[in-house]
Structure 1
Amino acid sequence: MGDPEVGSGVNRSKRSPVESLGLQKKPVFQAWFHFLIIICILVFVMCLAVSDGSLTWWERLALYKRFLNKTTKFQAPAYRIHPHHKFKLMETHTTTEPPTVQPGIRYHQAYPRNYQFVMDNRDVCKSRTPFLVLMVPVAPHNVAARDAIRQTWGKESVVQGEVVLTLFMLGLSNDADAEKIKQENEQHHDLIQSSFMDTYLNLTIKTMVIMDWLATRCPTAAYAMKVDSDMFLNIDNLVMMLQKPGIPKLNYLTGMLMWDRPVIRSKDSKWYVPEEMYPDPQYPTYTLGMGYVFSNDLPEKYVEISKVIKPFNIEDAYIGMCMKKLGLAPTSPPDPSQFKAYNSKYNRCEYSKIITYILGTSEELKNYWADYKKPGPHCEGST
């Protein structure tokens, strides 16, 4: 800032001997101080040079930058995010497998290749090419939801003559037992875990990591579905819908369509999105996140186009924005009444006609499924 006495009317030629001595010592002190800083930096760089040989120089440079700037926990993205709705990012995570991508922020925090798969079943699509892959985002601790799905619609591996695969996508959580999750995967071989923090505000990251997994681990599948863990899924009706003549094999996204939905600006809302994240007052047409189906050529396209789309915390609308940027649009299903959200009560006949319903608990799923699968006609008067 300069000398504080500049402009104060003090005559510099009349400083006291003590002040003059201080001025003489100050440059010497600063020189020694700068010399010590340089020595510390050189030692730090040498430590990096002899550290883990698996680190590239790019990674070491990133560590060096963090050393020089301890006031920031991670590199800030290139755009502003509302302070109450920041996407959380794990900087590092120990894993026994080599990193799938070069670590470090690239593009933005929802770009999925910023993260690493720390638990994977990368060969599940190699033995049999699935017609349909069901990807279920679920919290790491929610074993009950996973078990309920495994006992109901997720246990079906062949449906209407087509191979169907069900997998669960998890992030990281401080509340989950990592060893139990590992044992669960060893038993069922259906868990995928990535190095992002598993929070509600990170659902866009979670969805994009699902897309990255489909693009890199299972590109030969015909179709995929992102389906929430609290859903009743009539898997037979879903496969029959996809088998209909005229269903596109490319650039196809369908489900319960949302048109002209306004962006919620109320901070009291669960779906609040600030203008800093998404400036437009209205979302593009999108498919409701409870369960949407897409041709499996789209995941790679979503990953690529997401590089230029700022993330916001409404994951299904974000996919709608990816479609818009690609010059595409979601398609209404052959029978839109099959994709339903909530129902006041269970009805066996009704559940035989739909594809999706949102449920309240995992116990409901098991009970409804057991009744639905009982022998006999689903509707009175039918044969």
Structure 2
Amino acid sequence: MDGSMGRPKILKWPPNEATPPLCDQVGHSLGVSCFRSEAPRWIQLWSVAPRWIQLWSVALLMGIMMFLYNSGFGLSSLRTWPSSRSDRTSAEEEQDDSAFYVPYPGSYRLLIDEPERCQQGAPFLVLVVPVAPGDRTSRDAIRDTWGGLRSLQGHGVQLYFLLGSVAEGNGTGLNRSAQEQLLQESRLHHDVLQSDFVDSYRNLTLKTLLMLEWLSSHCPGSAYAMKVDSDVFLNVPQLLRLLRDAPRRSFVTGSVQRRAEVLRDARSKWYLPRSAYPGTHYPPYALGLGYVLSMDLPRRILTVSARVRALYIEDVYVGLCLRELGVAPHPGHMFRAGLPRFLMPRCYWTEVITTILRDSEQLLETWKTYQKQLGYC
């Protein structure tokens, strides 16, 4: 070791010669390190750098990676497509693809409606939450938190819950007891919309298309509509600030997916065979957790839906219709799928627009935190 420098000496050999076997033995006895001359210069510099520089460089690199991970730049979120894929066999590809579409258009009727509220109120923003008929807990939690905001910054806001029907145990007819409870809830809150299709995950596209029908016929004076899932925290004031300067036509925003790969693995929740969708990637679309539409789009999407067969993957299908219209969704960095993995910013809840939560209990707790953050952020 060189006492003056505090680092090992480097013993080099001619460029084109292999390091002699004796080098390690001699180097050890003399307190020197042996390097082949063809080793990259940066490797030599790194190996002889003081330990504090090495540790500082590693810490800096980890900090940059954590920032990018939390910020969501190019990284996966809770609702992106799974990475594991496998090809289907030719026999599986030949199966009937009708199971991958929803029955639309069709003859559907509203069982519970608010026929005049939106037209008379002409809210600036209409919030529509698709939710299961039996999930009263989620509906009440939303009413007690972000859904209870009726007017902000001079703009009216209206909330509606969109439901399908509750079938009897044998799958035929309506469950009369559950239906009566929904009618009582509707009379109390005047925010329930229910159609007579069977409420299920595979019918989410159908539910969204019926939502667009209702919006186009009931809310002619509104500027924007937002479809938002029942397990999402929504920062309505932040959303209104975003929409204040947004275009009033051909505008879509949310957490936008680009070049999402079509999954060919039948085990995936979002599997599609080539017979149903031959392309390898989907067009850009906003994740279904929450996206905003300017109010000219519901009717236009319904128009092109006549020539775009209704895939069961709801947010992808809306993206397909938008491509047909020539409308590109605007990425919204404040629409977050999940919570930060590591460091939670001090004012996180006042800065974001959406975040997926675990359940209604977490929403109630998050709302308390959000109210506190409003006082100092």
TM-score, structure 2 length as denominator? 0.69
CA contact (8 A) 2:350 2:374 kept: no
Aligned ranges for residues 166-245 of structure 1 at < 5 Å?
A: 166-174=159-167, 177-244=178-245
Alpha-carbon separation, structure 2, partners of 1:319 and 1:182: 30
**Structure 2 counterpart of 1:41:** none
SS in 1 for 2:305: helix
CA contact (8 A) 2:225 2:292 kept: yes
**Structure 2 counterpart of 1:354:** 352
CA contact (8 A) 1:348 1:372 kept: no
Between 1:364-373 and 1:132-141, the stretch displaced more is 364-373
Q: Which has the higher contact order (CA 8 A, sep 6+)?
A: 2
With over 3 angstroms needed to count, the CA separation of the structure-2 counterparts of 1:81 and 1:212, relative to structure 1, is farther
**Structure 1 counterpart of 2:127:** 134
Alpha-carbon separation, structure 2, partners of 1:185 and 1:358: 26
Alpha-carbon separation, structure 2, partners of 1:375 and 1:274: 47
**Structure 2 counterpart of 1:143:** 136
**Gaps spanning 5+ residues in structure 1: where?**
1-79, 88-108
**Gaps spanning 5+ residues in structure 2: where?**
1-94, 169-174
What CA deviation, in whole Å up to 9, does each residue of 1:5-62 have, x standing for no partner? Answer: xxxxxxxxxxxxxxxxxxxxxxxxxxxxxxxxxxxxxxxxxxxxxxxxxxxxxxxxxx
- The AA in structure 1 aligned to 2:227 is K
**Structure 2 counterpart of 1:15:** none
CA contact (8 A) 2:119 2:220 kept: no
Shift of the alpha carbon at 1:375?
A: 7.5
With over 3 angstroms needed to count, the CA separation of the structure-2 counterparts of 1:302 and 1:83, relative to structure 1, is closer
Q: Does 1:115 align with 2:108?
A: yes
1:341 to 337, 343, 347: 337
Aligned ranges for residues 301-380 of structure 1 at < 5 Å?
A: 301-333=300-332, 336=333, 338-344=334-340, 349-374=347-372, 377-379=375-377
Alpha-carbon separation, structure 1, partners of 2:191 and 2:346: 29
CA contact (8 A) 1:153 1:233 kept: yes
Q: Does 1:287 align with 2:286?
A: yes
CA contact (8 A) 2:111 2:195 kept: yes
Alpha-carbon separation, structure 1, partners of 2:247 and 2:352: 21
Shift of the alpha carbon at 1:377?
A: 3.1
Give the aligned length: 273
CA contact (8 A) 2:263 2:272 kept: yes
SS in 1 for 2:351: coil
Alpha-carbon separation, structure 2, partners of 1:81 and 1:230: 33
Alpha-carbon separation, structure 1, partners of 2:222 and 2:101: 34
Shift of the alpha carbon at 1:356?
A: 0.3
Alpha-carbon separation, structure 2, partners of 1:279 and 1:376: 48
TM-score, structure 1 length as denominator? 0.68
- The AA in structure 1 aligned to 2:139 is R
Aligned ranges for residues 50-65 of structure 1 at < 5 Å?
A: none
Alpha-carbon separation, structure 1, partners of 2:323 and 2:265: 25
Alpha-carbon separation, structure 2, partners of 1:351 and 1:321: 32
Alpha-carbon separation, structure 2, partners of 1:376 and 1:237: 12
1:164 to 146, 157, 160: 157
1:125 to 96, 103, 118: 118
What CA deviation, in whole Å up to 9, does each residue of 1:182-234 have, x standing for no partner? Answer: 11101101000112111111111011111010001112210000000000000
Shift of the alpha carbon at 1:276?
A: 3.0
Shift of the alpha carbon at 1:170?
A: 0.4
Higher share in strand: 2
**Structure 2 counterpart of 1:262:** 261
With over 3 angstroms needed to count, the CA separation of the structure-2 counterparts of 1:156 and 1:187, relative to structure 1, is same
Alpha-carbon separation, structure 2, partners of 1:256 and 1:217: 27
Shift of the alpha carbon at 1:110?
A: 2.5
Alpha-carbon separation, structure 1, partners of 2:101 and 2:247: 37
Shift of the alpha carbon at 1:321?
A: 0.5
CA contact (8 A) 1:273 1:313 kept: no
Shift of the alpha carbon at 1:331?
A: 1.8
Aligned-residue RMSD, C-alpha: 1.9
Alpha-carbon separation, structure 2, partners of 1:145 and 1:236: 21
With over 3 angstroms needed to count, the CA separation of the structure-2 counterparts of 1:302 and 1:376, relative to structure 1, is closer
Shift of the alpha carbon at 1:173?
A: 2.3
With over 3 angstroms needed to count, the CA separation of the structure-2 counterparts of 1:253 and 1:86, relative to structure 1, is closer
**Structure 1 counterpart of 2:85:** none
CA contact (8 A) 1:135 1:167 kept: yes
**Structure 2 counterpart of 1:19:** none
Percent identical across equivalent pairs?
A: 41
Alpha-carbon separation, structure 1, partners of 2:96 and 2:362: 38
Alpha-carbon separation, structure 2, partners of 1:376 and 1:253: 28
CA contact (8 A) 1:372 1:378 kept: no
